[in-house]
């Protein structure tokens, strides 16, 4: 009987760790674009009043040289002015470090202001990245909350098995 209980406990623990996988490996990021002030939700000064609309939780993104979507490791914000016509642009999204050896191709490793290309157009502005949930969120991260719930559930299961024995 004890072997069956231990097997059930192991299966429950495996299931709990699978449920927690997305929360450990990905972060939440705001995802929106605004060109020439067209999307006020995305513009600066940024207020996350519309977070349920534009916050992706967890955020998944593409990876350079691979198909599919992967858990994001950073949130990014691109902002600036197109050199050809003076229009403004803001892009908030999530990104993933692709693991290359140089920082010149890794957007998440190099916050800077200056010039960059966006959709084959030259922009004067800033590229910013951060690795916290939503970069400007002040609430307890979901990962910590979920881990506390999972730990409490795990403890409850152990107590139940102790009582039955």
Strand partners, 79: 90, 126
Contacts 24+ apart (CB under 8 A), 45-54: 46/92, 46/136, 48/134, 48/136, 48/137, 51/134, 51/137, 54/30, 54/92
The pTM of the full predicted model, rounded to 2 decimals, is: 0.63
User: For every one of its 165 residues, what pLDDT tens digit does the chain have, with 9 covering 90 and above?
Assistant: 555 555 555 545 544 545 544 444 678 899 999 999 999 888 888 876 656 788 888 889 888 778 899 888 889 999 999 999 999 999 999 988 776 655 555 667 778 899 989 999 999 999 888 888 887 443 344 445 556 666 677 777 888 877 876
Q: Which of 93, 134, 128, 94 is nearest to 111 (CA)?
A: 128
Could you give the domains of the chain?
1-26+138-165 (no CATH), 29-136 (2.10.60)
Residue 121 in contact with residue 69, Cβ under 8 Å?
no
Give me 160's structure tokens: 């139940």
User: What is the Cα–Cα distance from 29 to 107, expressed in whole angstroms?
Assistant: 15
* CA distance linking residue 38 with residue 52, whole number of Å: 19
In three state form, how does the secondary structure of 25-91 look?
HCCCEECEEEECCCCCCCCCCCCHHHHHHHEECCCEEEECCEEEEEECCEEEEEEEEECCCCCEEEE
Give pLDDT tens digits for 130-145.
888 887 443 344 445 5
């Amino acid at each position: 009987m004890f072997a069956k209980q231990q097997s059930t406990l192991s299966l429950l623990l495996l299931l709990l760790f699978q449920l927690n996988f997305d929360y450990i490996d990905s972060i939440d990021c705001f995802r929106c674009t605004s060109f020439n002030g067209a999307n006020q939700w995305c513009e600066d000064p940024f207020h996350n009043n519309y977070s349920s609309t534009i916050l992706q939780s967890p955020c998944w993104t593409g990876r350079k040289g691979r198909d599919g979507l992967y858990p994001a490791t950073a949130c990014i914000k691109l902002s600036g002015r197109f050199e050809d016509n003076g229009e403004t642009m803001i892009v908030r999204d999530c990104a993933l470090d692709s693991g290359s050896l140089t920082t010149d191709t890794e957007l998440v490793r190099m916050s800077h202001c200056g010039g960059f290309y966006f959709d084959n157009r030259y922009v004067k502005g800033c590229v910013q990245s951060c690795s916290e949930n939503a970069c400007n969120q002040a609430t307890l991260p979901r990962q910590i909350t979920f881990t506390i719930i999972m730990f409490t559930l795990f403890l409850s299961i152990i107590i139940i098995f102790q009582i039955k024995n």
